[in-house]
Amino acid sequence: EVHLVESGGGLVQPGRSLRLSCAASGFTFDDYAMHWVRQAPGKGLEWVSGISRDSRTIAYSDSVKGRFTISRDNAKKSQYLQMDSLRVEDTAFYYCAGRRGGDNPFDYWGQGTLVTVSS
Amino acid sequence: ESVLTQSPGTLSLSPGERATLSCRASQSVTSRYLAWYQRKPGQALRLLIYGASSRATGIPDRFIGSGSGTDFTLTISRLEPEDFAVYYCQQYGSSPLTFGGGTKVEI
């Protein structure tokens, strides 16, 4: 059975940092590009960032570019999201998602971890 | 950026009825790269439909995806009690990947 489990969320002050992790099991992690998608309270889903299977291709949404850094460790079957210079508008549930490549939908999703940015 | 607009926001129906959910894109979706997902409380999103009309593994045939260009539809032919959930469309043909705002199907 496939599992994607996010961790690392919590309450943080504006301007501070947080690092999210996503642990994968039940599928061949190396075969999947991994992404982060977020959903602010009462809002829709927003793609945040993605990383290719070999970490050579990385992309960010304009809203987080320059502040967030995505990475992965295939040996640990995990991906990460380093979030710096956090803003109140970054408050959201952050979901880990995996897809097989550029022309595929997200096959797998985690249940999310809540990040609250507030003073 | 391709903006996806889902309608209606909420659909109130009874088990056994047909549900018709709409997803309209602000620009043509490349190669019909349009997916539908289901979310139930406390659960991860589940892929239902990809390529606008192909069912994902294990998805019952009462879930039917259709459409092309800018207009797409998810039809649930006969609602089962477990189908009451929130449904999202997503385009994955162009960057950035974008999602619709969701349609809640409620009893």
Indicate the pLDDT class of residue A3, thresholds 50, 70 and 90: very high
Tell if the CB–CB gap between A104 and B50 is shorter than 8 Å.
yes
pLDDT digits (tens, 9 = 90+) for A58-113: 999 999 999 999 999 999 999 999 999 999 999 999 999 999 977 899 999 999 99
Average pLDDT, chain B: 95
Mutate to test the interface with A, among B31, B45, B91 (most CBs of A within 10 A): B45
The answer to whether the Cα torsion of B103, B81, B56, A99 is positive or negative is positive
pLDDT digits (tens, 9 = 90+) for A8-34: 999 999 999 999 999 999 999 999 999
Residue with tokens 């602000």: B26
pLDDT digits (tens, 9 = 90+) for A42-51: 899 999 999 9
- Give long-range contacts, CB 8 A cutoff, 24+ apart: A24-29: A24/A77, A24/A78, A24/A79, A24/A96, A24/A98, A24/A108, A25/A77, A26/A1, A26/A2, A27/A2, A27/A98, A27/A108, A29/A74, A29/A77, A29/A98
pLDDT at B85 over 80: yes
List chain B residues with CB under 8 Å of A47.
96-99
A→B interface, C-beta within 8 Å: 4, 35, 37, 44-47, 50, 59, 61-62, 95, 97, 99, 103-112
Coil/strand/helix, residue A25: strand
CA pair distance A113, A76, nearest whole angstrom:
19
pLDDT at B8 over 80: yes
pLDDT at B31 over 80: no
Q: Is B53 on the interface with A (CB under 8 A)?
A: no
- Dmax over CA atoms of chain B, in Å, equals 38
The answer to whether the Cα torsion of A95, A43, A47, B74 is positive or negative is positive
Closest-CA residue of chain B to A93: B44
HSE-up of residue B27 (Cα within 13 Å, Cβ side): 11
Nearest chain B CA: its distance from A28 CA (Å): 17
List chain A residues with CB under 8 Å of B37.
106, 109
